[in-house]
Amino acid sequence: MTSQGGHTSKRWNENPFPVSAVARFSPLSGDSFSIQTPALTQALAYVDQYLTQPEVKAGKGRSAKGNVIAIVGEYGTGKTHLSVEILHRIRSQDDNSVHTFYLDAPADTFLALYRDRFFRQLDRQDVRKRVAEYYADIVAEELGESPLTENVARLLLDRQASPHDIVQRFGLRESTFQQRLQDRLKDITEHEEFGTALGLFLRPEFEAAVWEWLAGHPADTVLQERGIRKTIDDDISALEAIGVFAFLYGRQHHRFVLIVDEFEKVLSRETRSAADEGAVLAFKKLLEIFGQSRSLLVLSGLPDFMEVLPDDARQRISSLVRPTALSFDDACQYVRNALGSDSDDLTPFTDDSISYLVELAGGNARKVIRLCYHAYEASAMAGTDVTRAMVREVARQQFEVSTPDDVRSDVARILDSNGWIFEQSKRLVKKPSFVADYWVPVGEGGAGCAIQITQSVLHAPEADRLAQAAKSFQQGKANVATVLIVNGYLAEPLAEKLTTVFSRVMLYSPMRFAEDFPAAVTSFIRRLEESLNEDRLTLVESKVDQLLRQTQSVRRAVDHFQQVSPDSLELAVEEGVRRVFATIGGKTEPPSMRRLSAVAADLIRIALNEAESLAATAKSDLQNMFASSWRSTRDTPYGVTQELLLQIAVAQSLIAAIEGFRDAVVQLAAQSDRPGISDGPGMGLDVACSTYDRSYDVIRSMMGRSETLPSGELVSSEQSFVARLNSPSFAELGLRVYRAQRERDVRI
């Protein structure tokens, strides 16, 4: 099938595998390659069943059973890929009655999901058409009662005539039909205010005000006079609004499809929405609505979001799909497609190296793709086929993100800050080879927690050695907990061998270690304390000693800052946190953002996220160019390099401008909160906003007329860099923040 060793007969071209094995939705990805895994077949079967079921009479009009599909899996298993394939299957039907919305969930709330993702995709004229169809049905009901106007009623029902024109032509009382429309929409949407607003939407003098209100802004005076006073400004009202649109489309011969990827960002144990019982109940109601309104809801994410849902809510998810691991044949099919090979020749890969790569990755799609990319690079550098040793080498290089010393320092710091007594390099058994890296004693009878640290585990002998160490530490006793920290890659076939003997196996992640590690140790220590027969007083004394050590640790930190003013200390802490998180690849924002109005904070957060996405896209394109240019037979066009470097410079300048603007607005908000400092609402804010506007104009002018890239391959979406740069999130940021903060100051 492939070459089995020695030098390959083919030269290496540009690496055909993606450098970042993270699936992202792109409007241009309709022809993307897909492996027909059992999970994909199952998901598409659910979708086809939904699309082909006939419309039936149900309740308040024609409808059909909807469906709620949950795609649940761990990182890298192909959840986003399945979601995109569902989207492509639906759009391939070319059915104008199917309206699909694909949302990448924000790391926030249901309100952010509605305002920043869903509503922005709504087409104003399309919504108007849906409302007009209800109006047409009402007028047709009136005219259908007379033989003289039956034909006109049929034209209305077939959407071949305008109900507004018919009402005027026949001299009918428009106010009567408009009131009926509002009553019908209240009944359909099950919300009085939404029904009133949508009924007014057809009238030109109210259209702008209604659309503004639906976008989440306070109701205009003309709407308040007609009973619309609430604002879509929390999770519950946002979920209600999504349900209203599901009813609006689903009960008017249309299908409403909503696909939400990375749903755990909105609903998991760490999110604000999950902590709000009312929001969880509203989400359960939304699941019911999709089942009743000829709608389809697809939720894709980590298992976290399913764990948060109460049992009765999980029962409303009618279809569950779990991505399946890639097999050897699947991987061969993927490699063949990436290489563009029409034959069985997969050079520089071999049957053996692909089989080993799949085994090492445990069939995890993201890991397979990532290892393929780096193995291809290593093969090109060595000038030989990909070997098992080469796969192991790139696995270590790519997954061991921290040095062993960094991991040890983190462990010691966390143990010390929590007040736990611990020993390093503790020999728990006579054999000198079995030494615990850290030992946390519990009580005085030899109980405790043994912590072992290792680099990547890729060989069976490595796993056997660690498993034997864990068994030796425990020595058949139940009063020793064992924790294994793997700094790097843990081969899937070896994971089970280790998880069965260690109390906990953790993959070291700089982002989560400070949270996950102390939680695990605390759990084990508490369990050990409960199992001991020692005097309760001894355990209490031990706890007191631990608290004293924690207090001493905190006191040392406080003493270091005791000469610093409170304001300076707050700013220093904020800047320090931001620098640390930036260093380890994450992102954060000043805690003082809470001083801003919720609207202003969201506006700035969205703008900054979009600017960082803009920079990341340009950097990725540049990295791809560097990764392939050394093997290219042609020189990289000078214009391409110049364009990408300019994009990066512009994006970074935009990030700096938004961050500077944010800090200025935060400072002004802090001053306005302190009596005697501010001269009045808005003083200084207009200067900050106008300064941002001028900065943005300068940044935008840097691109000149370069909206057309020299190479189409560098365009990662249907929108060019300049089109994204002209987004209202940037262009209108100063004005929107000014308005939001002025409203806040007036309320204060």
Residue 443 has pLDDT above 60, yes or no: yes
Q: Give pLDDT tens digits for 685-698.
A: 888 888 888 888 88
Q: Which one, of 511, 495, 450, lies nearest residue 477 by Cα?
A: 450
For residue 9, name the pLDDT band (cuts at 50, 70, 90): very low
Residue 237 confidence (pLDDT): 93
Residue 74 confidence (pLDDT): 85
The label of the residue with tokens 């081969």 reads: 491
CA distance 420 to 422: 6
Q: Which residues share a beta bridge with 58? A: 61
CA distance 637 to 577: 41
For residue 627, name the pLDDT band (cuts at 50, 70, 90): low
User: Is pLDDT larger for residue 540 or for residue 653?
Assistant: 653
Residue 236 confidence (pLDDT): 93
Name the DSSP class of 324: P
Residue 743 has pLDDT above 50, yes or no: yes
The stretch 70-79 carries a mean pLDDT of 88
CA distance 712 to 210: 40
The stretch 310-329 carries a mean pLDDT of 89
For residue 28, name the pLDDT band (cuts at 50, 70, 90): very low
For residue 345, name the pLDDT band (cuts at 50, 70, 90): confident
Cis peptide before 348 (omega within 30 of 0): yes
- How far from the centroid of its chain's Cα atoms is residue 530's Cα? 39
Distances (CA, A) of 420 to 416, 424, 458, 470, 557: 6, 13, 32, 21, 18
CA distance 229 to 243: 19
Residue 598 has pLDDT above 90, yes or no: no
Residue 434 has pLDDT above 70, yes or no: yes
Residue 30 confidence (pLDDT): 43
Residue 378 has pLDDT above 80, yes or no: yes
Q: Report phi then psi at 468, rounded to 5.
A: -65, -35
Cβ atoms of 58 and 251 within 8 Å: the answer is: no
| DSSP-H helix ranges across 588-637 | 598-629
For residue 1, name the pLDDT band (cuts at 50, 70, 90): very low
Q: Give pLDDT tens digits for 379-423.
A: 988 889 999 999 999 888 888 778 888 899 889 988 888 888 888
Lowest-confidence range among 41-55, 292-306, 500-514, 633-647?
Answer: 633-647
Cβ atoms of 114 and 241 within 8 Å: the answer is: yes
CA distance 489 to 486: 7
CA distance 312 to 87: 28
CA distance 109 to 265: 8
Cβ atoms of 97 and 253 within 8 Å: the answer is: yes
Q: Which one, of 309, 383, 315, lies nearest residue 347 by Cα?
A: 383
| One-letter identity of residue 105 | A
What is the token pair recorded at 148?
Answer: 């003289």
User: Is pLDDT larger for residue 720 or for residue 707?
Assistant: 720
Burial readout 178-190 (b: 16 or more C-beta within 10 A, e: otherwise): bebbbebbbebbe
Residues sharing a CB contact under 8 Å with residue 464, sequence separation 6 or more, in sequence order:
497
> What is the CA angle 80-82-88, rounded to 5?
105
Q: Report phi then psi at 298, rounded to 5.
A: -115, 120
Compute the residue count for the chain: 748
Q: Give pLDDT tens digits for 279-311.
A: 999 999 999 999 888 899 999 998 888 888 888
Q: Over the chain, what is the mean pLDDT?
A: 79
Cβ atoms of 224 and 267 within 8 Å: the answer is: no
Q: Give pLDDT tens digits for 198-257.
A: 999 999 999 999 999 999 999 999 999 999 999 999 999 999 999 999 999 988 888 999
Cβ atoms of 322 and 39 within 8 Å: the answer is: yes
Residue 727 confidence (pLDDT): 83
CA distance 356 to 392: 9
**Upper half-sphere CA count for residue 61 (Cβ side, 13 Å):** 19
> What is the CA angle 582-584-588, rounded to 5?
40
The stretch 10-33 carries a mean pLDDT of 60
